[in-house]
A = this chain, B = another copy of it.
Amino acid sequence: MVINPKEEMRLAAIRGLYDYREDIPEIVEKLVEIHNDVNNFDRESSEPVPSRDAIIRIIHQFRRILFPGYFAPVKLDKVSLQYYLGQEAVLLFEQLSHQITLCLKSDNAGKGLSCVYCDEQGREEAIRFMKQLPELKVLLTKDVQAGYEGDPAAGSLDEIILCYPGILAVTVYRIAHHLYRQNIPLMPRIISEYVHGLTGIDIHPGANIGASFFIDHGVGVVIGATADIGNRVRIYQGVTLGALAIPKEDVERLRTKKRHPTIEDDVIIYAGATILGGETVIGAGSVIGGNVWLTESVPPGTKVFIKKPELILKGSSR
């Protein structure tokens, strides 16, 4: 009788003659080798990467500062509000400036540059960002209001702030957008991909979005880096504001060009609509119907619907 090697090894293992753990050192050795060989582990001498976990904690700090009545873990009143916000602000500054510094260093290291002032710059950018928090708060209040007015199913402002993924996504987008405009590398993207994972809403931090913006349901929404969106715009799940497919050879040339559409004030875009191209402008007050596919501009006040595709109905007897 011939025993196949695998079965033989298993029997040996049961008899205590073979311990699978003994194979581990060889695996480790190969992994070490690979890491060096393919230049995957070339971070050795460079700066530590920013911590995704720390940055996610920072997002929640922002939320507590921006909506303390909803997310602060303590009761807030006129006695405690100032202490609470002050304490959170101090902690935010420490952590934000540290992570910005790591992002700057990591970015410089990637370009082969050293970074003499990165610590100082991290602190400067952090405080610069934090100075915008008050107006950010005002802006977010309008988004919440827009959500309440736009969705008749919303029971209360509380419901909007506590539950709506659209509000979470817009809050985090506005934070990421400010960091993006300060040219902080990496952090805006880490932030926006985090909330993308939570909500299924993918807004590139580079997009410009006006006041009173509302996304309902939201899963599958994609908003590209050079999209421009006016005030009081409302969009639904599955809406894409994307780029036209471009030939590979033009990629580099188009990198800095506007590739995503412009949506003017007071536009509504229903579920599943796709609007593509940097020169596409949806005029103010337009309504874009569900599943519409648009690569051209429409003038203000236009209503666009698909002519529904023909259906085939067959009675079944089963």
Q: Interface residues, chain A, CB within 8 Å of chain B? A: 6, 9-10, 13-14, 19-25, 27-28, 30-35, 38, 40-45, 48-50, 52, 65, 67-70, 74-87, 89-91, 93-94, 97, 106-107, 110, 117, 120-121, 123-124, 126-127, 130-131, 133-134, 137-138, 141, 152-153, 155-159, 162-165, 185-186, 189-190, 192-193, 196-200, 202, 204, 217, 219-220, 222, 225, 237-238, 240, 242, 245, 251-252, 254-255, 268, 270-272, 274, 276, 285-287, 289-295, 298-299, 301-318
Contacts A76-B44, A77-B21, A124-B9; A163 near B138 (Cβ below 8 A): no
Contacts of A141 in B (CB 8 A): 38, 40
A230, chain B: closest CB distance, angstroms:
15
Q: Are B274 and A291 in contact (CB under 8 A)?
A: yes
In the complex, residue of chain B having the shortest beta-carbon distance to the beta carbon of A303: B314
Contacts A25-B86, A90-B74, A106-B158; A312 near B317 (Cβ below 8 A): no
A263, chain B: closest CB distance, angstroms:
16
Q: Are B6 and A81 in contact (CB under 8 A)?
A: no
- Expressed in whole angstroms, the Cα–Cα distance for A134 and B274 within the complex equals 41
Contacts A14-B117, A121-B10; A48 near B75 (Cβ below 8 A): yes
A240, chain B: closest CB distance, angstroms:
6
**Which residue of B137, B220, B304 contacts A312 across the interface (Cβ within 8 Å)?**
B304
In the complex, residue of chain B having the shortest beta-carbon distance to the beta carbon of A198: B197
In the complex, residue of chain B having the shortest beta-carbon distance to the beta carbon of A78: B44
